[in-house]
Structure 1
């Protein structure tokens, strides 16, 4: 099935993110400690949370590939959403720790100027994460994975954070040492903001929220299907990178079963063209003429 093939392909992007984050977080924490840069160490801690988030995406992708069973008739596609929800809490804790440490350092006037090596590490990290972002974004579009797309945007934000870290370190080197700590504080806020965004998106998915723009587009497409007289109801919900749509339409009450079934198939194929990972459940009802009309 193409859906599960795409999920397996998405694992490659998750593994690349994990490898990049492990290497970069270790380097930033070591060089940040040696080079005496609070901003670079905070950026390194930020990447450790990204390792957790990427592992959560990987675990979710693997569990999502399990076929439906007696207790999961719709499969396990929401596993990656649950994993992302857990990761958001872990990221929140790390973000609070970075903010707390930064505030403590602000009240500590004794600090050394960071090493120029820390700037090189920060800029190099930004370049690496931008390349990972471009790869994961292209892969997410190819396999239509919302989880991998979110991971790609996280890669991009990490690249921007590293650029900001380099700017903060430079300001500290030329005499504005407080900027290094303030940059670390800002990074802590960014970590928490990212955690809240992942949390909110996960909650929306788990509570069956659905994009209103997609509903409007699908409504127009279904109404234009030959044989459909009226679109009575349209509901949608997402499960990982799959979508389930429930449609109720009215048709000519004098059609036979085969003709009504053909309309159902046309609706299903129309929805499939809109989203290949979408499964539609179509309910046909006889159209009732308005009262007073013969």
Structure 2
């Protein structure tokens, strides 16, 4: 898929999430405040953090579109990953605030039973966010966008949060008043958990981490190329949603420069067909000489 279409698809998903969050945050905060539901207010605050996170991702996407320059020879694709990390910080901070507020309500026992209107609002919100999640997660798989994947996971957690809020609200109707602030506590914990998951993945990629098993699969693919005797080294790192690969192979030492170069071209072509790759650097060494050196050592 061309990079322009990928970027366009990712932006559509983020804009859809942003629109849903704006509508739902206003609805939940208003209904939660009017009908005395801490769980729904917490859910509304959760969506408010999502608005900020979505804006951060959009800014990251805009920056990532900038072409390579003298200071960024690989381009600006990591701006999207940085934006996802900023979003994770926002989620954790708001989650902690909601958690502390809900715990205070339980300890101080300052609770009123919320209206069923608040409960139905939470149920409708959950259904809407599940629909947005299904759309965005499919798009994230097609585009392999970290930012959109983070947004989709947040969509799903928001749906679960709303379900939890609804349980707490309806439970309070049966005299279990503390279920509403307890639901707010669970909402806060899910916000923090989602923020941590996004932070873990983005920090792994920004520190040049790469999935070990995927690297091994790449080695197997390279060994399928005619003329490759051995893959002696393969290093990879993520640059946005794409991979940068450095690989060293052994070939027959009797091959000339042109023949060796054709092998590297075939490796690049095959890897770009199988994986989302930005650039590949292939270093060629003579197979027999390498083995002889290793024996002498």
CA distance 1:255–1:160, change in 2 (3 Å): same
Counterpart check, 1:56 vs 2:53: no
Structure-2 residue corresponding to 1:254: 254
Equivalent-residue separation in structure 1 for 2:133 and 2:26 (angstroms): 20
Equivalent-residue separation in structure 2 for 1:79 and 1:110 (angstroms): 44
The Cα offsets for residues 24-72 of structure 1, whole Å up to 9 and x where unpaired, read as 0111011000110000000111111111111121111111111000100
CA contact (8 A) 2:172 2:180 kept: yes
Question: Structure 1 residue 141: deviation in Å?
Answer: 2.2
CA distance 1:161–1:132, change in 2 (3 Å): same
CA contact (8 A) 1:236 1:245 kept: yes
CA contact (8 A) 2:60 2:83 kept: yes
Equivalent-residue separation in structure 2 for 1:198 and 1:36 (angstroms): 32
Equivalent-residue separation in structure 1 for 2:50 and 2:266 (angstroms): 44
Secondary structure of 1:288's partner? helix
Question: Structure 1 residue 151: deviation in Å?
Answer: 1.4
Structure-1 residue corresponding to 2:128: 128
Structure-2 residue corresponding to 1:85: 85
Question: Structure 1 residue 291: deviation in Å?
Answer: 4.4
Gaps in structure 1 of 5+ consecutive residues: none
Structure-1 residue corresponding to 2:103: 103
Structure-2 residue corresponding to 1:271: 271
The Cα offsets for residues 229-256 of structure 1, whole Å up to 9 and x where unpaired, read as 1111000000111111111001111111
Equivalent-residue separation in structure 1 for 2:98 and 2:57 (angstroms): 24
The Cα offsets for residues 114-163 of structure 1, whole Å up to 9 and x where unpaired, read as 10100111000001101111111121222232321221121111111111
CA contact (8 A) 1:140 1:146 kept: yes
The Cα offsets for residues 186-240 of structure 1, whole Å up to 9 and x where unpaired, read as 1111111111111111111110000111111101111121100111100000011
TM-score between the two structures when normalised by the length of structure 1? 0.95
Secondary structure of 1:21's partner? helix
TM-score between the two structures when normalised by the length of structure 2? 0.95
Secondary structure of 1:85's partner? helix
Equivalent-residue separation in structure 1 for 2:280 and 2:270 (angstroms): 10
Matches within 5 A, 1:32-51: 32-51=32-51
Equivalent-residue separation in structure 2 for 1:198 and 1:209 (angstroms): 15
CA contact (8 A) 2:43 2:184 kept: yes
Question: Structure 1 residue 9: deviation in Å?
Answer: 2.2
CA contact (8 A) 2:153 2:194 kept: no
Gaps in structure 2 of 5+ consecutive residues: none
CA contact (8 A) 1:244 1:279 kept: yes
Tell me the C-alpha RMSD between the 2 structures. 1.6
Matches within 5 A, 1:1-294: 2-289=2-289, 290-291=291-292
Equivalent-residue separation in structure 1 for 2:292 and 2:201 (angstroms): 46
CA contact (8 A) 2:271 2:277 kept: no
